[in-house]
Every structure is written in C-alpha cells, then in structure tokens.
C-alpha cells in the first residue's frame, strides 16, 4: 500500500509536467522563444529550450500534492529544508533559462551554481556522514564544502551529457528508478519511515522526466535546456546527499537475506554508478579543454554523444546505448544486495560485453564496407582476378596504377 502513494506522486508529476510542456511549447513557437542553431548542436531546426520551466513547475506541484497526502507528510520533517531545495531549484532554472536565451559566460554560470549549492547546504541538506561503518564528517565546514562540491559536480556532469533527444530524461528515469529501490530498502533496514525526503525527491524527479520525455524523445519537439539539465542534476544530488544522514548500510544485507562487505560501500558507489556516463563525459571534457589551453567549461563538439554519432550511430541508437550503459552500471551494482557477488559481477561483465558490442558495431561495419569497396575497385581494374579470395591486406596493397581511372 505504501508504494501506491509514491506511484501517485509520480503520476501527478508526470501529468503536470506533460501538460505544462505542451503549453510552453506552443508559447515558445508563437513568440519565437528559441535560440539560433549553434555549430556544436546536433539538431538542424530551431527548437524551444524551455522544458526546464515545465519540469520545475511539475516538481512544485508534485511536492505540494505530497504535502496534502498524510502518509507522505512525514517526508517534510524539516520544512525549511524543503523550502531551500525549492528555492535553489527556482534559481537554477532561472539561470538556465537566461543562459538558454542569452548564452551566459561560463564563470557567471559556475558562480550561480555555487550559490545554488550553498543555499541547499545552508538549508540543512548536507553530507553529514559517510556510510562506511561509523565514519562521520569531521566538522560542519567540511560537511558544507563537500556538499557544495558534490552538488556542483553532479549538476555539471548531467548538463554536459545533455546533447541528444531524450538522453538526460531517459538516463534520469533509469538511474533514479534504481536509486529509489535502494532508498526503499534502506528505510526497512533502518526501521525508518517509508516516506522521507530522499525517496520523495527521487520519485518526483522520475515523474517529471516521464512527463517530459514524450516531447523530448527523438525527434524532439522541445529541449529541457540548461534549466532542465541543471535541475535534474540538482535533484539527483539532493536525493543522494539526503540518504547519507540516516543510513546504516550494514543492516541492508540482512533485510534482503545476506550481508557482504560491499553493502557498506553501495551508498557511495551507487550515485557514481548511476552517473557513470555523465561523470566520465565531464572528466574527459575538462581534461580535453585544459590540455588545449581552454576553459574547462568552454563548449565543443567532442562529447561522448558526439563521438557516437561520428562513429556512425543514428541519433536514436546513440541514446539507447547511453540507456544501456546506465542500466548495466546501476542495476548491476544494486544486484549485490540481492544475489551472491559472483552473480552480480557476471551480470555486469555480460552487460559490459553486450553493450560494448553494440557501441563498437559501426566500426566493424565501416571496416567491412571499406574492404568491400577495395575489392570492387580491384575487380573493376582486373576483371580476371577472383578478388573474393584475396586477403584484405593484399587488396589494400594493390598499387594505385592498377586502379587508375577509378573514382574514389
């Protein structure tokens, strides 16, 4: 019965976000509220970027409706904490909208992100303990600094990967669905209320992403923009940080039927697993730009999703590959709570192999196409040869003079 209240919250967030997305989409086209095409953009038609506004309003309505449901009201144990989270979300959306329409410089955006993270931290949402045994943060200052760093890191990681239709929304649904299962388990393991802030924020974020995905999936009619991507990153960081204050990880294994050492590390590893691709993209982008002597926040067209397109993947296939990687990483890690460690490792290994195969498939197709083209050239240049039996290296080594006159 408890899960029904969470499902109701997801439904409210999804319906409200979808309805407001349609309204904002029409208004954006009527008043031309969309930027020009940039050189790094994948899309070719001007597309509204105000989806983050609809998502934020969906968050507000969903949280407001949760307050009206008595069982869910226990998630609002610290009302000021909820207020500061919503205030931070409002500020990050306003900043994102201004950036989407006017293109702010990177240091202004970064300063705004630190202010937003500071508001959340001062409101009481902080990393107060690390769930490895009884380890706690050494001082309030250390807690504040770590919290701000984590929030800014996650916001930028999510924003960096937002470059394909439906990418961030779909990844967020998969990642937060996995994280909700974990938070639900830890509530039982630690004899806590099944309705708390971490779980509530997680299901609200799932709902708004579900509601926004129909207008954002390829071919997208509207983008979430920086306002939506930063909002998703903020809420994902908030839910992960909220968990750290009341978890006793060692007790979770007993609830699900076993206890292993890795259980104690899952609260730390799971957020990184569900953000593995965004964090990898963020790290590579920063290193790439610093090596080139540029700002780590300068824009380019060398993100992972750009590389997948350049390899030969279609837009849809590239998005599905990101979904698959997120699913393998997050579900694989969560399986350590349910099955023996070797079973979880097997799932991750098999998933890694299969997903790698799909990721690298265009390279093998391209190689076969090149070999076929070379054999065709040789056949046209020397009709008497049985080129099907030639080794690809032999074909590639045919002198240019033998293929003279062939249009390459």
Q: Looking at the structure, do residues 331 and 396 belong to the same domain, yes or no?
A: no
Q: Averaged over 351-379, what is the pLDDT? A: 77
DSSP-derived secondary structure letter, 291? H
- For residue 39, name the pLDDT band (cuts at 50, 70, 90): low
Q: Looking at the structure, do residues 334 and 388 belong to the same domain, yes or no?
A: no
Length of the chain: 408
Instruction: Tell me the per-residue pLDDT of 275-321, one tens digit each, with 9 for 90 and over.
Output: 777 778 878 888 888 888 887 777 777 777 778 888 888 888 989 99
Q: Looking at the structure, do residues 374 and 264 belong to the same domain, yes or no?
A: no
Q: Looking at the structure, do residues 119 and 212 belong to the same domain, yes or no?
A: yes
Instruction: Tell me the per-residue pLDDT of 84-108, one tens digit each, with 9 for 90 and over.
Output: 999 999 999 999 999 888 888 888 9
Q: Within a domain: residue 345?
A: no
**Strand boundaries in 240-293, DSSP class E:** none
Q: Looking at the structure, do residues 263 and 164 belong to the same domain, yes or no?
A: yes
Q: Looking at the structure, do residues 292 and 366 belong to the same domain, yes or no?
A: no
Backbone dihedral region for residue 277 (phi beyond 0: left; psi -120 to 50: alpha; all else: beta) = alpha
Alpha carbon 261 to its chain's center: 28
Secondary structure of residue 136 in the 3-state scheme: strand
Q: Within a domain: residue 408?
A: no
Measured CA to CA, the distance from residue 26 to residue 20 in angstroms comes to: 10
More reliable by pLDDT, 216 or 336: 216
> Is the pLDDT confidence value at 396 over 50?
no
**Which residues lie across from 170 on neighbouring strands?**
none
Q: Looking at the structure, do residues 153 and 226 belong to the same domain, yes or no?
A: yes
The token pair that represents 191 in the structure block? 């004899």
Contacts of 237 (CB under 8 A, 6+ apart): 150, 151, 153, 154, 155
Q: What share of the chain is helix, strand, coil (3-state, %, to 5)?
A: 75, 0, 25
CA atoms within 13 A of residue 146's CA, in its CB half-sphere: 17
Question: Residue 7 has what pLDDT?
Answer: 93
Q: Within a domain: residue 354?
A: no
> Are 175 and 53 a contacting pair, CB within 8 Å?
no
First vs last Cα of the chain: how many Å apart? Answer: 67
Measured CA to CA, the distance from residue 55 to residue 61 in angstroms comes to: 10
Q: Averaged over 177-205, what is the pLDDT? A: 79
Work out the burial of residue 183: count CB atoms within 10 Å of its CB; fewer than 13 is exposed, 13-18 middle, 19 or more buried. Answer: buried
Q: Looking at the structure, do residues 384 and 315 belong to the same domain, yes or no?
A: no
Distances 319 to 21, 168, 324, 332, 335 between C-alpha atoms, Å: 21, 9, 9, 20, 24
Secondary structure of residue 209 in the 3-state scheme: helix
How many domains, the chain? 2
> Are 251 and 137 a contacting pair, CB within 8 Å?
no
Q: Where does a domain end: 305, 338, 371?
A: 338
Question: Residue 17 has what pLDDT?
Answer: 98
Q: Which domain holds residue 384?
A: 361-403
Q: Looking at the structure, do residues 154 and 211 belong to the same domain, yes or no?
A: yes
Measured CA to CA, the distance from residue 338 to residue 26 in angstroms comes to: 47
Measured CA to CA, the distance from residue 89 to residue 326 in angstroms comes to: 25
> Are 348 and 328 a contacting pair, CB within 8 Å?
yes
Q: Within a domain: residue 349?
A: no
Q: Within a domain: residue 343?
A: no
- The model's pTM is 0.82
Q: Looking at the structure, do residues 305 and 392 belong to the same domain, yes or no?
A: no
DSSP 111-126: HHHHHHHHHHHHTT--
Measured CA to CA, the distance from residue 128 to residue 71 in angstroms comes to: 26
Q: Within a domain: residue 145?
A: yes
Q: Within a domain: residue 121?
A: yes
Q: Which of 68-82, 240-254, 361-375, 379-393 is most confident?
A: 68-82
> Are 168 and 156 a contacting pair, CB within 8 Å?
no
Q: Which residue matches tokens 């007790």?
A: 251
Q: Looking at the structure, do residues 334 and 365 belong to the same domain, yes or no?
A: no
- For residue 257, name the pLDDT band (cuts at 50, 70, 90): very low
Q: Within a domain: residue 353?
A: no
Instruction: Tell me the per-residue pLDDT of 203-224, one tens digit each, with 9 for 90 and over.
Output: 999 999 999 999 999 888 999 9
DSSP-derived secondary structure letter, 400? G
Q: Looking at the structure, do residues 299 and 386 belong to the same domain, yes or no?
A: no
């Amino acid at each position: 019965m408890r899960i029904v209240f969470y499902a109701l919250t997801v439904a409210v967030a999804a319906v409200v976000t979808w309805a407001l997305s349609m309204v904002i989409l029409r208004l954006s086209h009527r008043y031309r509220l969309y930027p020009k095409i940039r050189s790094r953009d994948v899309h070719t038609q001007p597309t509204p970027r105000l989806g983050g506004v609809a998502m934020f309003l969906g968050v507000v309505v969903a949280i407001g409706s949760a307050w009206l449901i008595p069982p869910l009201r226990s998630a609002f144990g610290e009302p000021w904490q909820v207020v500061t989270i919503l205030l931070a979300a409002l500020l990050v959306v306003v900043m994102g909208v201004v950036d989407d329409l006017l293109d702010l410089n990177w240091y202004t955006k970064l300063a705004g992100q630190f202010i937003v993270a500071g508001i959340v931290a001062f409101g009481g949402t902080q990393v107060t303990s690390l769930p490895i045994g009884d380890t706690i943060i050494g001082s309030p200052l250390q807690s504040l600094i770590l919290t701000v760093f984590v929030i800014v890191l996650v916001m930028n990681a999510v924003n960096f990967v937002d470059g394909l239709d439906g990418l961030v929304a779909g990844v967020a649904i998969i990642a937060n669905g996995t994280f909700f299962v974990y938070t639900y388990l830890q509530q039982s393991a630690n004899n806590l209320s099944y309705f708390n802030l971490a779980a509530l924020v997680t299901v609200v974020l799932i709902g708004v992403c579900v509601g926004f995905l129909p207008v954002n999936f390829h071919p997208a009619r509207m983008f979430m923009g920086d306002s939506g991507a930063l909002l998703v990153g903020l809420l994902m960081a908030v839910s992960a940080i909220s968990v750290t204050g009341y978890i006793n990880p060692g007790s979770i294994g007993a609830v699900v039927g076993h206890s292993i050492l890795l259980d104690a590390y899952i609260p730390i590893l799971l957020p990184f697993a569900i953000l593995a691709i965004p964090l990898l993209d963020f790290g590579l982008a920063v290193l790439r730009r610093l090596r080139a002597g540029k700002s780590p926040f300068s824009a380019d067209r060398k993100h992972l999703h750009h590389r997948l397109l350049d390899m030969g993947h279609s837009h849809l296939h590239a998005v599905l590959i990101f979904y698959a990687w997120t699913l393998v990483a997050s579900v694989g890690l969560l399986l350590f709570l349910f099955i023996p460690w070797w079973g979880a490792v097997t799932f991750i290994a098999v998933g890694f192999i299969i997903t790698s195969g799909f990721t690298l498939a265009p390279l093998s197709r391209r190689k076969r196409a090149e070999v076929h083209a070379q054999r065709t050239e040789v056949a046209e240049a020397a009709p008497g040869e049985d080129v099907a039996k030639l080794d690809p290296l032999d074909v590639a080594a045919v002198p240019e003079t033998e293929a003279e006159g062939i249009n390459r």
